[in-house]
Structure 1
Amino acid sequence: MFRHTSSDSADSYYGRLYPGHIPTTVIQKALLAVGSGVAALQNPYRHDMVAVLGETTGHQALINLRNRMRNDPEGDIILTERPRIRLSTLDLNKMASLPDGSFGREYLRFLEDNKVTPDTRADVKFVDNEELAYVMQRYREVHDLLHTILGMPTNMLGEVVVKWFEAAQTGLPMCVLGAALGPLRLNASRLQSLFTSVGPWALHSGRQARCVLSVFYERRWEQSLEDLREELHIQPPPLLTAASP
Structure 2
Amino acid sequence: MAVVQVAEDLVPVADTEHCKAEARSEPLHACRSPAGALPALPPNPGAPRRWEQRADGTAELPSPPPAPNRAAPRSHRTPPTPSRRPVGRVPLYPGHIPTSPLQKALLAAGSACAALWDPYRHDMVAVLGETTGCLALPTLRDRMRNDPEGYRILQERPRIRLSTLDMARLRGLPDGALGREYIRFLEDNKVSPDTRMPAKFVDDEELAYVIQRYREVHDLMHTLLGMPTNMLGEVVVKWFEAVQTGLPMCVLGAAFGPVRLNARKLQVLATELLPWAVRSGRNASCVLNVYYEQRWEQSVESLREEIGIFPPPAVRV
TM-score between both structures, scaled by the size of structure 1: 0.93
1:227 to 295, 298, 302: 302
Separation in 2 of the partners of 1:241 and 1:74?
A: 35
Separation in 2 of the partners of 1:14 and 1:238?
A: 49
> What count of residue pairs does the alignment treat as equivalent?
232
C-alpha displacement of 1:208: 1.1
Which string of whole-angstrom CA distances, capped at 9 and with x for unpartnered residues, describes residues 36-89 of structure 1? 011111111111111101000001100000000001100000000000000000
2:235 is matched with 160
2:10 is matched with none
C-alpha displacement of 1:241: 2.4
Alpha carbons of structure 1 residues 173 and 14: separation in structure 2 relative to 1, 3 Å: closer
**Equivalent AA in structure 1 for residue 250 of structure 2:** C
Say yes or no: does 1:68 pair with 2:115.
no
2:89, 2:99 within 8 Å by CA — same for their partners in 1? no
1:187 is matched with 262
C-alpha displacement of 1:14: 5.5
Which string of whole-angstrom CA distances, capped at 9 and with x for unpartnered residues, describes residues 125-180 of structure 1? 00000000000000000100000000000000000000000000000000001000
**Equivalent AA in structure 1 for residue 96 of structure 2:** H
1:198 is matched with 273
1:121 is matched with 196
Quick check: which has more Rg, 1 or 2? 2
Say yes or no: does 1:146 pair with 2:221.
yes
Unaligned runs of 5+ in 2: 1-86
Separation in 2 of the partners of 1:71 and 1:64?
A: 11
2:53 is matched with none
Equivalent positions of 1:1-245 (< 5 A) are: 15-241=90-316
2:11 is matched with none
Separation in 1 of the partners of 2:144 and 2:259?
A: 33
Separation in 2 of the partners of 1:13 and 1:77?
A: 29
Task: Return the structure number with greater relative CO, CA threshold 8 A, min gap 6.
Answer: 1
C-alpha displacement of 1:215: 0.4
Unaligned runs of 5+ in 1: 1-11
**Equivalent AA in structure 1 for residue 176 of structure 2:** G
**Equivalent AA in structure 1 for residue 98 of structure 2:** P
SS at match of 2:298: coil
Whose helix proportion is higher, 1 or 2? Answer: 1
Separation in 1 of the partners of 2:200 and 2:224?
A: 28
Separation in 1 of the partners of 2:197 and 2:110?
A: 18
Runs of 4+ in 1 over 3 A off after TM superposition: none
Identity of aligned residues (%): 72
Which string of whole-angstrom CA distances, capped at 9 and with x for unpartnered residues, describes residues 174-206 of structure 1? 000100001111001100110100111001101
Separation in 1 of the partners of 2:137 and 2:161?
A: 22
Separation in 2 of the partners of 1:15 and 1:56?
A: 17
2:95, 2:200 within 8 Å by CA — same for their partners in 1? yes
Cα RMSD, aligned residues only = 1.3
C-alpha displacement of 1:239: 2.0
TM-score between both structures, scaled by the size of structure 2: 0.72
SS at match of 1:89: coil
